[in-house]
Amino acid sequence: MKHVVVLTGAGMSAESGLKTFRDENGLWEGHDVMKVATPEGFARNPELVLEFYNQRRRQLLKVEPNSAHYDLAQLENNYKVSIITQNVDDLHERAGSSNVVHLHGELLKARSSFNESDIMDWKTDLVTGDTCSQGYQMRPHIVWFGEAVPMIDNAINICTTADILMIIGTSMQVYPAASLMHYVPENTPTFFIDPKPAFESQSNITVIAEPATTGVKKVLKRL
């Protein structure tokens, strides 16, 4: 079976009702990113950070996967499919995709602020006083700005084995995620789906300037 590697970003989930990560002035849902998405921000005001992610988590639990999520899950009937996502939601999994790598963490998990490998499922609000087995405060299982991306090496290894690459709903501006397309074998057929694509069609790159739900369907027809 041919191996389809899919890189997804915020635009993948936008049509499910989840807002994209941050707007052009650096704010995320009206918050300064540096205050709610950095270790320093968490150290300075843990209550603000925890409540920010509580709101994101509540929002996530109210939305459903869109047709693009389901279409990618169906692709597994005919291909080996690996999804590498910058998204912290679980919509790929809920739609039925079986091989999903989360580069930036997962909103429905929490981890110890002391031992980063102490991770647990978490679907309710996370508050100060919620501690791990060693007594340390739990924090969102999210890769914040300035932190290492632990899954990046795994993602690179996946990309090196791609027969087909799909990039959906991401500006390819956030590193190290943006570097992943450079690890696929040379001349790999690549489909870039985004309403505001960051680049134009080239010899092996087909750009589809559309939202995920319609763009994915077009790629699947071609495949």
| Long-range Cβ pairs for the range 98-105 (8 Å, 24+) | 98/73, 101/151, 101/154, 101/155, 101/158, 102/151, 103/143, 103/149, 103/151, 103/152, 103/155, 103/177, 104/142, 104/143, 104/149, 104/177, 105/140, 105/141, 105/142, 105/143
104 is catalytic: yes
Q: Are 142 and 107 in contact (CB under 8 A)?
A: yes
The pair of structure tokens assigned to 137 is 């405060």
For 17-26, b where at least 16 C-beta lie within 10 A, e where not — what string?
A: ebeebeeeee
Beta-bridge partners for 4 = 81, 164
Task: Quote the CA–CA distance of 61 and 91 in Å, as a whole number.
Answer: 10
Residues 69, 92, 102, 104: which is the catalytic one?
Answer: 104
Query: Which of these, 28, 38, 31, 57, lies nearest to 127 by C-alpha position?
Result: 57
Show which residues are catalytic: 104
